[in-house]
Structure 1
Amino acid sequence: MKRRTAREKSFQILFQMDVNDIPPKEAIEHVMDGPVDDAFLTDLVYGVIEHKQEIDEKINENLENWTFNRLASVERTLLRIAAYELSYKEDVPSSVAINEAIELANSYGDEKSGRFINGVLSKMLK
C-alpha cells in the first residue's frame, strides 16, 4: 500500500474511533474490510493512540484563538496524524507530513480546513 493510501485509511480508522468510540481492531476491520497487513498504516494508527495525550497537548499549544475541544473531528484527527509523523517518524520529511495532512483536509474537511491544518502544523514546526 502506498503511504498516501495508508494515511487516508489511517485517517478513516482514527476518525471512526473518535466519532464512534470503538476499539482500534474493530475500526481497522471496518475500514479495511478485514485485517490489515501494512506496517506504515498500523504504525500511524497505534502510534497516534499510544501518544495521543502528548500529541493533543502539542496541538493545543499551537492553536490560536481556538480551543482543542472546539476542533471538528476531521481536523482533530488529521492534526493528530500529522503531529505524530512530525514528532515520532524520523523517516518522514516534515514537508511531506504537512502536505499530506493538507491534501486530506481539502478532501474531507470544509473549504477552510486545509489552511487551518497548514497554520497549526507550521506553527508546530517552529
Structure 2
Amino acid sequence: MTRRGLREQVFKMLFRVEFHNVEDMPEQMNMFEEVEECSEKDKEYISNKFHNIVEKIDEIDAAINEVSEGWKTRRMGKVDLTLIRLAVYEMKYEDDIPVKVAINEAVELAKQYGTDESPAFVNGVLAKLA
C-alpha cells in the first residue's frame, strides 16, 4: 500500500475515536482489520500509528488549541479535527515526513472527506503550526 493509502487508513481508524470510548477501540481495530484488505505489515503500521497518535492526543489537541483562534478542538468538524491531528502528529513526531508533505496530504484528504471549506481550514490551522 502507498504512503497515501496508509495515511488514509490511519485517518479512517482515528476518526472512530470521536464516536467510541477508549475501551471500545480494540474491538474497533479488529472490525477495521476484518473489513480492510491490507497486508500484515500494513495492518501493523496502521495500528502502531493509530495507537501512537491516540497516546499523544491531549498534547496534539493542546497544540491545535494554541493556534486555532475561535475554533477550539471541541468546536471543529470531526473530519477536519481528525485530519489536523494526523498531520500534527506527523509534523511533530515523524522526522521522515517533511512538514509540507504532512500538510499537503491532510489538505488532499480534506478535499476527499471534508466539506467545501475543509481544505482551506485544515491548511490554515496547520500553516500556523508549521
Any stretches of 5+ residues in structure 2 without a counterpart?
none
Conservation of the 8 A alpha-carbon contact between 1:9 and 1:31: no
Partner of 1:73: 78
Whole-angstrom CA distance in 1 between matches of 2:125 and 2:45:
24
Report the residue type matching 2:49 in the other structure. L
Conservation of the 8 A alpha-carbon contact between 2:64 and 2:72: no
The TM-score normalised by the length of structure 1 is 0.89
CA deviation string 1:49-97 (max 9, x = no partner): 1111110000111102222210111111111110000000000011111
Which consecutive segments of 4 or more residues in structure 1 shift more than 3 A? 34-37
Q: SS state of the match for residue 19, structure 2?
A: helix
Any stretches of 5+ residues in structure 1 without a counterpart?
none
Q: CA RMSD in A?
A: 1.8
CA deviation string 1:5-64 (max 9, x = no partner): 111111111111222335333222222326953254233201111111110000111102
Count of matched residue pairs: 125
Q: SS state of the match for residue 95, structure 1?
A: helix
Q: SS state of the match for residue 33, structure 1?
A: helix
Q: SS state of the match for residue 41, structure 2?
A: coil
Partner of 2:125: 120
Whole-angstrom CA distance in 1 between matches of 2:17 and 2:72:
21
Please list, as runs of the form range in 1=range in 2, the aligned pairs for 1:8-47 lying within 5 A after superposition: 8-21=8-21, 23-33=24-34, 36-38=40-42, 39-47=44-52
Whole-angstrom CA distance in 1 between matches of 2:6 and 2:30:
14
Which of 52, 56, 59 is equivalent to 2:57? 52
